[in-house]
């Protein structure tokens, strides 16, 4: 089937949630590259929006998925699942969490985190504590509860009235957070690097102040590591950069390298609030997804991919900053590890993205003035140099 036929079929039968997509259909990938139905090669600097951390067709992940699919894809959590138990154990061993629950997406993981925070206080005899404070410009998902938690009006407006129980405060403003806490507050939830609003790392002092405030007020700290977790920022988890430990954190995206999975991770003192019947998932933690997750996590540790993300991210941002000295249209470069935002001085982000696509490079744009980069963690200096030269040519042509 050629691209035109695929586009016509999509237009006729698929719900119009994505509008006019970028006109390409990929048939296969290898390493950091994708190959389209017309045989063209593209360098993937978006990584499936931070999902393809191992790149495409990594042998360890392919073998794990194929091997498990030949044996058992799904049974049910009514029965014990070896890969589920092994992945939960491995995540607990490499993080500050003691227990893990698996679901199918980041939004589900965040829903689970909010449910756990509420039931934790309910079982402590404080049912009045249900409110959750999040940050403006945040993004926590597209379900009704996570839309309410998200601090961006454009995602919320179509679904008003929003679910109650959420307040939003300005990031990096501890006084605003203090003022928002009342007798109903049970938790503070935040991303340490806000990705969907343009790659904005939080201030380290602020995050540490939030941790202290939660301890003083008896609140839970929930960290959304959906996009920042699994090595993306140069550490296995972004909270490691900030010198804090959350009571609850969530994972998804890169955890299984593209196989749908989400994880709700918590310390024992909080996790024990969930008892049989309090939460569940039909597909969550199935043998296929957990086998993929085990392969990804082992590969990340064995190949030292978080360390590579830190090293290559530093190099990448340095090269981009040097490029900004030549091209004044770049007004700033920010990020952490291989989670990078290029701030443009003009509303040219979509045009730059499209021109890079024309040259065989996939990137993201946020709004009208930010280019977002989330390449696979296997990237090397040669890949970065190729991209920087292409970006320089595009900027020179504007």
The string of DSSP letters for 33-61 reads EEEETTS-EEEESSHHHHT-TT-BS-HHH
Q: What is the DSSP letter of 139?
A: -
The H or E element containing residue 185 is strand 185-190
Of the candidates 129, 171, 253, 267, the residue annotated as catalytic is 253
Instruction: Check residue 163 and give its pLDDT.
Output: 95
- Please indicate whether residue 139 is annotated as part of the active site: yes
- Please indicate whether residue 253 is annotated as part of the active site: yes
Sorted by where each begins, the domain ranges of the chain are 77-302
Q: What is residue 246's three-state secondary structure?
A: coil
Ramachandran region, residue 312 (left: φ > 0; alpha: ψ -120 to 50; beta: rest):
alpha
What's the full length of the chain, in residues?
398
Please give the mean pLDDT across all residues of the chain: 97
H-type alpha helices, the chain: 3-13, 47-50, 59-71, 82-94, 106-122, 144-149, 153-156, 174-180, 204-217, 239-242, 268-271, 287-302, 305-326, 349-358, 381-397
Q: What is the pLDDT of residues 112-128, one digit of tens each?
A: 999 999 999 999 999 99
- Please indicate whether residue 101 is annotated as part of the active site: no
Of the candidates 224, 235, 247, 348, the residue annotated as catalytic is 224
pLDDT band at 178 (very low <50, low <70, confident <90, very high): very high
Thinking of the domain 77-302, which architecture would CATH place it in? 3-Layer(aba) Sandwich (3.40)
Residues 208, 188: Cα–Cα separation, whole Å: 13
Of the candidates 102, 121, 139, 316, the residue annotated as catalytic is 139
Task: Quote the tokens at residue 18.
Answer: 């994505």
Instruction: Check residue 214 and give its pLDDT.
Output: 98
Q: What is the pTM of this model?
A: 0.97
pLDDT band at 224 (very low <50, low <70, confident <90, very high): very high
């Amino acid at each position: 089937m050629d691209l035109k036929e695929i586009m016509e079929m999509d237009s006729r039968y698929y719900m119009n949630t994505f509008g006019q997509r970028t006109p390409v259909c990929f048939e296969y990938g290898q390493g950091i590259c994708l190959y389209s139905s017309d045989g063209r090669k593209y360098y993937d600097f978006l990584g499936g929006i931070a999902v393809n951390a191992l790149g495409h067709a990594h042998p360890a992940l392919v073998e794990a998925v194929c091997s498990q699919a030949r044996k058992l894809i799904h049974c049910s959590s009514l029965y014990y699942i070896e890969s589920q138990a092994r992945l939960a154990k491995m995540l607990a061993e490499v993080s500050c969490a003691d227990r893990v629950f698996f679901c199918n997406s980041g939004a589900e993981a965040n829903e689970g985190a909010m449910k756990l925070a509420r039931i934790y206080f309910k079982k402590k005899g404080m049912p009045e504590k249900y409110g959750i404070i999040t940050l403006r410009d945040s993004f926590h998902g597209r379900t009704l509860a996570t839309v309410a938690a998200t601090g961006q009006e454009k995602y919320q407006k179509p679904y008003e009235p929003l679910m109650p129980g959420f307040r939003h405060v300005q990031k990096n403003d501890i006084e605003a957070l203090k003022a928002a806490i009342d007798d109903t507050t049970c938790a503070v939830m935040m991303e340490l690097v806000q990705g969907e609003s343009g790659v904005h790392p939080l201030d380290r002092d602020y995050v540490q102040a939030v941790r202290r405030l939660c301890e003083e007020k008896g609140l839970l700290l929930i960290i959304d590591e959906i996009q920042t977790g699994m090595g993306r920022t140069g550490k296995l988890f972004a909270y490691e950069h900030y010198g804090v430990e959350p009571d609850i954190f969530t994972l998804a995206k890169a955890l299984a390298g593209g196989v749908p999975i989400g994880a709700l991770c918590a310390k024992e003192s909080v996790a024990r609030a969930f008892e049989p019947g309090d939460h569940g998932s039909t597909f969550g933690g199935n043998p296929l997804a957990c086998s993929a997750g085990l392969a990804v996590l082992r590969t990340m540790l064995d190949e030292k991919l978080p360390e590579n993300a830190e090293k290559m991210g530093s190099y990448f941002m340095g090269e981009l900053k040097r490029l900004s000295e030549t091209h004044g249209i770049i007004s700033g470069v920010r990020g952490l590890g291989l989670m990078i935002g290029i701030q443009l001085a003009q509303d040219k982000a979509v045009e730059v993205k499209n021109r890079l696509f024309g040259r065989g490079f996939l990137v993201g744009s946020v709004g009208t003035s930010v280019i977002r980069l989330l390449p696979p963690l296997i990237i090397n200096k040669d890949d970065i140099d190729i991209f920087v030269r292409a970006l320089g040519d595009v900027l020179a042509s504007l």
